[in-house]
Amino acid sequence: MNVAIPTEDKQMQDIIEKVRSGERLTREDGEFLYRSDDLLTIGQLANEANMRKNGRKVYFIENMSLYFTNVCEAHCAFCNFRKDKGEEGSYTLSGAEMIEYVEQHIHPGVREFHIVGGHNNHVPFQYYVDSLKALHERYPDITLKAYTAAEIDFFSRISGLSYREVLEELMKAGLKSLTGGGAEILSDEYRKKMKVDKADVSQYLEVHRTAHNLGLRTHTTMLYGSVEKHADRINHMLQIRELQDETNGFLVFIPLSMQPISPKAGIRRRNSAFEDLKTIAISRLMLDNFQHIKAYFINIGTQLTQVSLTMGASDVHGTIVKERISHAAGALTPEGITREDLIWLVKGAGRIPIERDTFYNEVKIYE
Ligand code: SF4
């Protein structure tokens, strides 16, 4: 049964009616929700929408983040992860070196490697194929969720292969899913202002479309909280929603709160907690064809992640072990978290923790 939501606002009442009757929200609805400061109503409505899809279940995975190289030809304004070749702190690991690192840090129960990195044009495409192959041979039971759409576009440029051919080569090496990074804000104007020096809007979408058509399920993100307007975020969600209508290939939508130390990008402040919660809730309401909205504790902290579970989020990512990209940008959160802490976090919000695999198959229920 739905709780009565007291609001005098006619437009908010219409939106409540639409969400409850399963009618899709429009661009105008989304922009109105961002203009509204009625976080409790928006959050309550997102909670209803989420409960209809997922009940009290909240998902997480035992995973480990790996970064083969931080050398990058691009210079995106907000990025503090990239290095030039030869610069202090730059590295490019071989398959054997990566396996040595994994052996030292892996936890029992890890079932996914989350792999992203720089666009290193000092090594050939075959290096990126061999990296996956080495991991897959050594850990055949661990799912390889690897590379962003922007990296796939970069591989296509350095190899001369089409997106389809690049993906087919990587799938032969063990690729099972793409990560969601590289989307930032899907707007050409934003990408120009923020010097997003990689795949453009149509290329990002085309890589995911191609992957979905090859049978891969993928992840997608939105990096919010810098120069974009609220209308840009809604427009971003609508483009992702449209592709999901076409392919149904996305597993989850991940709003990523911009981290603050980006003087090059003119970013001085963290997003407010209010803005983070509102963005998760609005994502839940706009993306009616997504099963899951993820709260990424690395960027918003564990406490806000917990609160977001009552405002539309149904996934708390995973154990990670050692996160590097957001921490290079100034994240104040831990670099990873234990399974026990994730379970505690979810239970503390009155929800049921579900350990999952990459594809949201349930592995274990922690009642
Ligand atoms: S965001 Fe990615 S592509 Fe852009 S500079 Fe950083 S590592 Fe390179």
User: What's the pLDDT tens digit per position in 230-286?
Assistant: 999 999 999 999 999 999 999 999 999 998 766 666 777 788 999 999 999 999 999
CB 76 within 8 A of CB 118: no
How many angstroms does the Cα of residue 206 sit away from the middle of ligand 1? Answer: 19
68-79: average pLDDT: 93
CB 281 within 8 A of CB 43: yes
Cα angle value 186/191/195 (rounded, 5°): 150
* Closest ligand 1 atom number to CA of residue 118: 7
Q: Which of 67-81, 175-189, 198-212, 345-359 has the lowest mean pLDDT?
A: 67-81
How many angstroms does the Cα of residue 28 sit away from the middle of ligand 1? Answer: 33
Task: Determine whether the shortest distance from the Cβ of 74 to ligand 1 is under 6 A.
Answer: yes
CB 192 within 8 A of CB 170: no
18-39: average pLDDT: 97
* Closest ligand 1 atom number to CA of residue 72: 8
User: What local confidence, expressed as pLDDT, does residue 2 receive?
Assistant: 65
Residue 363 has pLDDT above 90, yes or no: yes
Q: Give binding residues for S-adenosyl-L-methionine as ranges.
A: 78, 184
* Closest ligand 1 atom number to CA of residue 150: 3
Q: Whose CA is nearest to atom 4 of ligand 1?
A: 76
User: What dihedral angle (degrees, nearest 10) is formed by the CA atoms of 89, 92, 97, 98?
Assistant: 100
Task: Determine whether the shortest distance from the Cβ of 77 to ligand 1 is under 6 A.
Answer: no
pLDDT tens-digit map of 176-230: 999 999 999 999 999 999 899 999 999 999 999 999 999 999 999 999 999 999 9
CB neighbourhood size of 65 (10 A): 22
Task: Determine whether the shortest distance from the Cβ of 324 to ligand 1 is under 6 A.
Answer: no
Q: What's the predicted TM-score (pTM) here?
A: 0.95
Residue 305 has pLDDT above 70, yes or no: yes
Locate 348 and state its tokens.
């503390």
Assign 4 a pLDDT band (cuts: 50, 70, 90).
Answer: low
pLDDT tens-digit map of 285-299: 999 999 999 999 999
The average confidence (pLDDT) of the chain is 94
In whole angstroms, what is the distance from residue 118 CA to residue 325 CA? 10
Q: Give binding residues for [4Fe-4S] cluster as ranges.
A: 72, 76, 79
The one-letter code for the residue type at 122 is H
56-79: average pLDDT: 94
| Pairing, β 292-293 against β 315-318 | unpaired
Q: Which residue has the tokens 């190289």?
A: 69
Task: Determine whether the shortest distance from the Cβ of 170 to ligand 1 is under 6 A.
Answer: no
* Closest ligand 1 atom number to CA of residue 78: 1
Which residues are CB-neighbours of 259 under 8 A, at least 6 positions away? 270, 299, 326, 329, 330, 331
In whole angstroms, what is the distance from residue 249 CA to residue 226 CA? 28
Would you call 84 exposed, middle or buried from its count of C-beta atoms within 10 A (0-12, 13-18, 19+)? middle
3-state per-residue secondary structure call for the chain: CCCCCCCCCHHHHHHHHHHHHCCCCCHHHHHHHHHCCCHHHHHHHHHHHHHHHHCCEEEEECEEEECCECECCCCCCCCCCCECCCCCCCCECCHHHHHHHHHHHCCCCCCEEEECCCCCCCCCHHHHHHHHHHHHHHCCCCEEEECCHHHHHHHHHHHCCCHHHHHHHHHHHCEEECCCCCCCCCCHHHHHHCCCCCCCHHHHHHHHHHHHHCCCCEEEEEEECCCCCHHHHHHHHHHHHHHHHHHCCEEEEEEEECCCCEHHHCECCCCCHHHHHHHHHHHHHHCCCCCEEECCHHHHCHHHHHHHCCCCCCEEEECCCCCCHHHHCCCCCCCCCCHHHHHHHHHHCCCEEEEECCCCCEEEECC
The one-letter code for the residue type at 156 is S
How many angstroms does the Cα of residue 340 sit away from the middle of ligand 1? Answer: 33
pLDDT tens-digit map of 154-169: 999 999 999 999 999 9
CB neighbourhood size of 94 (10 A): 14
Classify domain 56-365 by CATH number.
3.20.20.70
CB 249 within 8 A of CB 217: yes
Q: Whose CA is nearest to atom 3 of ligand 1?
A: 74
How many angstroms does the Cα of residue 234 sit away from the middle of ligand 1? Answer: 24
In whole angstroms, what is the distance from residue 356 CA to residue 115 CA? 18
308-314: average pLDDT: 98
In whole angstroms, what is the distance from residue 210 CA to residue 149 CA? 10
Task: Determine whether the shortest distance from the Cβ of 198 to ligand 1 is under 6 A.
Answer: yes
Cα angle value 41/45/49 (rounded, 5°): 170
How many angstroms does the Cα of residue 68 sit away from the middle of ligand 1? Answer: 14
What whole-number percentage of the chain has pLDDT above 70? 97
Best of 79, 92, 128, 221 for a ligand 1 pocket test (most atoms within 8 Å of beta carbon): 79
User: What local confidence, expressed as pLDDT, does residue 182 receive?
Assistant: 97
Which residues are CB-neighbours of 303 under 8 A, at least 6 positions away? none
How many angstroms does the Cα of residue 82 sit away from the middle of ligand 1? Answer: 6
Q: Give binding residues as ranges.
A: 72, 76, 78-79, 184
Task: Determine whether the shortest distance from the Cβ of 72 to ligand 1 is under 6 A.
Answer: yes
